C-alpha cells in the first residue's frame, strides 16, 4: 500500500529524519520510498529562484530575508525593505534579467570556522543553516552569489526558467511579502 509522506521531522541531534505518513507502522517494518520527481523538481526550481530573488533584493534594494515558503506551484519570500519601497516591477525585471544568464549551481561544504569568518554567507535574519559534523553547506550560483544553504537546487539557473511576481502584500512598515510562480 502506498502512503504519501505528509511531514518530516529531525531528531534534536539532526541524525535521524522521521517521515510522517498518517498511519501507524510497527518498528522494524521494511519500507520502500519512491520520490515524486515532478514535485521535487518543482521545489528545487522554486528554491533556486528564492536564492536569485534574495540576491537581487539585497544588492538592488538593501532587502533582507525574513521568511520563505516554498511550494511546487507558487512560493513566497518575505523581505525587510526600506519603508516606502515601490520597486516590485523593477525587482521582477531584475530577477528575470539574472535568470536569463545560464549559470551553474553547485554545493560545497566548508568548515564551521570558515562559515563564521564569512557572515556574507548568511542571508536570513531568523534562520541559520545547519552545521553538521563541524561543516556548513554553501550553494554557489557561479559568478552570481554564494550562500549557506542545506536545500536542494537544480544544476543550472536555466532550469529555473522565467519567474513572475504574482502578488505582493505589506506585512508591516518595512516587511513585504512577494509571491512568485515559474513558467512550466
d(CA 144, CA 11): 34
Are residues 138 and 109 in contact, defined by beta-carbon separation less than 8 angstroms?
yes
**How confident is the prediction along the chain (184 residues), in pLDDT tens digits per residue?**
778 888 888 888 777 888 888 888 788 888 888 889 999 999 999 999 999 999 999 999 999 999 999 999 999 999 999 888 899 999 999 999 999 999 999 999 999 999 989 988 888 777 778 888 899 999 999 999 999 998 999 999 999 999 999 999 999 888 999 999 999 7
3-state DSSP assignment of residue 100: coil
From the CB of residue 158, how many other CB atoms can be counted at a distance below 10 Å? Answer: 14
The structure's pTM equals: 0.88
Are residues 105 and 156 in contact, defined by beta-carbon separation less than 8 angstroms?
yes
DSSP assignment string, 111-162:
EHHHHHH-GGG--BSS----EETTEEEEEEETTTEEEE--S---SBGGGT--
- State the number of CA atoms in the 13 A half-sphere of 95 facing the CB: 28
From the CB of residue 144, how many other CB atoms can be counted at a distance below 10 Å? Answer: 17
- State the number of CA atoms in the 13 A half-sphere of 122 facing the CB: 16
Amino acid at each position: 500500500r502506498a502512503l504519501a509522506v505528509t511531514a518530516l521531522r529531525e531528531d534534536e541531534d539532526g541524525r535521524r529524519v522521521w517521515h510522517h505518513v498518517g498511519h501507524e507502522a510497527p518498528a522494524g517494518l521494511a519500507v520502500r520510498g519512491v520520490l515524486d520527481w515532478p514535485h521535487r523538481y518543482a521545489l528545487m526550481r522554486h528554491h533556486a529562484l528564492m536564492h536569485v530573488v534574495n540576491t537581487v533584493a539585497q544588492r538592488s534594494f538593501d532587502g533582507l530575508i525574513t521568511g520563505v515558503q516554498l511550494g511546487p506551484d507558487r512560493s513566497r519570500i518575505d523581505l525587510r525593505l526600506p519603508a516606502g519601497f515601490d520597486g516590485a516591477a523593477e525587482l521582477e525585471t531584475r530577477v528575470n534579467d539574472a535568470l536569463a544568464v545560464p549559470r551553474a549551481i553547485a554545493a560545497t561544504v566548508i568548515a564551521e570556522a570558515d562559515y563564521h569568518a564569512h557572515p556574507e554567507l548568511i542571508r536570513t535574519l531568523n534562520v541559520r543553516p545547519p552545521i553538521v559534523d563541524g561543516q556548513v553547506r554553501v550553494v554557489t550560483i557561479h559568478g552570481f552569489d554564494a550562500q549557506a544553504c542545506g536545500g536542494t537546487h537544480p544544476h543550472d539557473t536555466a532550469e529555473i526558467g522565467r519567474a513572475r511576481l504574482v502578488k505582493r502584500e505589506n506585512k508591516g512598515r518595512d516587511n513585504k511579502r512577494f509571491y512568485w510562480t515559474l513558467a512550466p
